[in-house]
Amino acid sequence: MQDTLIDQGLNLMLFGMGTVFVFLTILVFATILMSTLVNRFTPATKVEQAPSQAPPIAANSPLTVSPHIVSAIEKAVAAHRQR
């Protein structure tokens, strides 16, 4: 008996979806295995905490913002919040 086009399409779809499912399952287990191995064989590094406050910026520094720009930003934020 000859398969119809619908039967062939369904077989192809199931084979393709099964292949993708098996590949993704293997990928998940491989990722879990690799992360376990990395955590086991590499020493834990200490994470340095950032300072709680940024250092003050000097008044004549190029990083300072002019008061005109600050007021313009404050006005823009206020106008945005009123919408």
Q: What is the pLDDT of residue 72?
A: 93
Please report, for the chain, how many H helices and E strands are present, in that order.
Answer: 2, 0
pLDDT tens for each residue of the chain, 83 residues long: 678 999 999 999 999 999 999 999 999 999 999 999 998 888 777 777 776 676 666 666 666 778 888 899 999 999 999 98
pTM for this predicted structure: 0.48
Residues contacting residue 3 through CB under 8 Å, at least 6 positions apart: 11
